[in-house]
Chains A and B, each alone.
Chain A
């Protein structure tokens, strides 16, 4: 369970995030959507304890992310950021092995190796296992990072725009994988998404943000309507339906 408690992040006089209360619980995919600068990534990064809030906090399974030992949190929440440039050259297997670091502190046990193999299997990466990350395509690299998150085996997975720079096919594959994290592995996945329609189709819950605040929260069908879209994105759009899920025709907006 992830509980946001009166969370505020300010840079100087600018409040970039002001989230009094938000609870994410149970297996499923929650999408954070909103325009650029709405505070989605800020919220996610604070929950992943990579950024200090100005005030308030986030609890993960009751552990305060601003004070709990990093090692304790690493077994509960994994975060994958937008830029995944590593300072060192790793093979895919080495990267995935790092996913076990919170448990083994670098000395992998047989169990750890088994989980690494499982993660490589899950993302169909076995044939690339010995390849270096910088020799892979963007989509393959993204999969390798997701495999590391799978190997880390936390109940909570935070993904910051995992579809960035992926082509249509790889984006679809990644979203299917993210769905599996929730459905097969029972994880609470929070994902920042740019494309509202991807969120509408794949997420169980959508949290829409604007100017650092949550303006709508609920199932896709309840959140996505024309007035809310105008409020969130500042754009007049037409919303229609496809197989019971809302579709935003944002590309037709003028």
Chain B
């Protein structure tokens, strides 16, 4: 008897495992979009020395992929740990700190002198300061308060406000010509990314992604909320600490590599949540990573080819990202 009923009962089980299909389809679509974006970017309107142009573009594509993947996955992690989908890791003050660093350096050394500093030294310096800041915040607010993410975020908001205020003050002190040069530097640029830095950044991001992937099921449980996850045997405090450290790496590395990009992660992650209709990290992490890279490359392509470099992708992203963010806020309010 049980032999007969077993398969019938098995149906809903399979119904349960059918559901990832939607997310697989979505991921595949985004993957194809990614390939199309890369192909367009690499081949459209190639002129001059083919090998030189291709190499230049390949490096740009690699940098953009790295940045898009890093920021998007960081945002997904941040959403899971904070239990809030309209936040961005920018809240923690990484962008503000980066801007402050650039401004202070421009004030101390002059923009042009600063730009002459060995690019790798600059990268390491910026990365070190941002990581130290993240570790400091994590240490103070996660170890001592037993994983109170809200407190951590409030501290991040206050700190980034302070960074911005100091940055503004310093900006007023520097030479107006240098200020213009500085302002341009503050928006992310992919034009001149050092090859070795790219390699090192790729390794950092790849290691972080491996850790994220290994935690994917625990992150699913953490997404239920602190108490539910604890009750299911997840060490929520540990997952939170590790996640915040990963967020730091995944935000600090791209920022040190190319500069600050706001809203990209928010755009990619929320788009993926809407499309996949799941919170499972085995679906959202790869999809968001691909989506982030795709959006960035597509935006850069459109700007380079159709706006003749008059504006930067990060500015356009900030514009559209801002609109999407407001839409998201309004939607949340209605719920």
Contacts and interface: CB of A to CB of B under 8 A. Distances in A.
B12 A129 contact: yes
Contact of B225 (A48, A87, A107, A129): A87
B12 A117 contact: yes
A72 B38 CA distance: 47
B11 to A, nearest CB: 10
B274 to A, nearest CB: 12
B230 A70 contact: yes
B7 interface: no
B324 to A, nearest CB: 21
Please report whether the interface of chain B is mostly helix, strand, loop or mixed according to DSSP: helix
Contacts, number: 75
A106 interface: yes
Contact of B230 (A49, A89, A130): A49
B88 interface: no
* Chain A residues touching B, range: 35 or more
Interface in A65-107: 69-75, 78-81, 85-90, 93-94, 97-99, 101-102, 105-107
A106 B13 contact: no
B9 interface: yes
Contacts of A71: 233-235
B86 to A, nearest CB: 13
A98 B12 contact: no
Nearest to B220: A106
B12 A85 contact: no
B228 interface: yes
Contact of B218 (A75, A85, A106): A106
A250 interface: no
Contacts of A69: 233, 235
B110 interface: no
Contacts of B224: 86-88, 90, 98
A116 B234 CA distance: 19
A63 interface: no
Interface in A93-136: 93-94, 97-99, 101-102, 105-107, 113, 116-117, 126, 129-130
Interface string B288-323: 000000000000000000000000000000000000
A152 interface: yes
A130 B15 contact: yes
A80 B234 CA distance: 15
A152 B279 contact: no
Interface string A37-76: 0000000000011101000000000000000011111110
Contact of A102 (B15, B225, B233): B233
A74 B225 contact: no
B221 A106 contact: yes
Interface in B261-297: 279
B221 A48 contact: no
B222 to A, nearest CB: 9
Nearest to B228: A86
Given A93-B16, A97-B16, A98-B228, A87 B221 contact: no
A106 B233 CA distance: 11
A79 B232 CA distance: 9
A93 B233 contact: no
Nearest to B10: A113
A73 B233 contact: yes
B9 A117 contact: yes
A104 to B, nearest CB: 9
Determine which residue in A69, A75, A101 has the highest number of CB atoms from chain B within 10 A of its CB, and name it. Answer: A101
Nearest to B224: A86
A117 B13 contact: yes
B232 A72 contact: no
Interface in B47-81: none
B12 A50 contact: no
B232 A85 contact: no
B83 A152 contact: no
Given A50-B230, A72-B233, A74-B232, A86 B225 contact: yes
B21 to A, nearest CB: 14
B227 interface: yes
Contacts of A74: 231-233
B217 interface: yes
Nearest to B13: A113
Nearest to B12: A129
A65 B216 CA distance: 26
Given A81-B227, A101-B221, A106-B218, A152 B12 contact: no
B227 A70 contact: no
10 contacts: A50-B227, A70-B234, A81-B227, A86-B224, A87-B225, A88-B224, A93-B16, A102-B233, A106-B217, A113-B16
The 8 closest A-B CB pairs, nearest first, are A106-B217, A74-B233, A71-B233, A102-B233, A87-B83, A88-B279, A101-B232, A113-B13
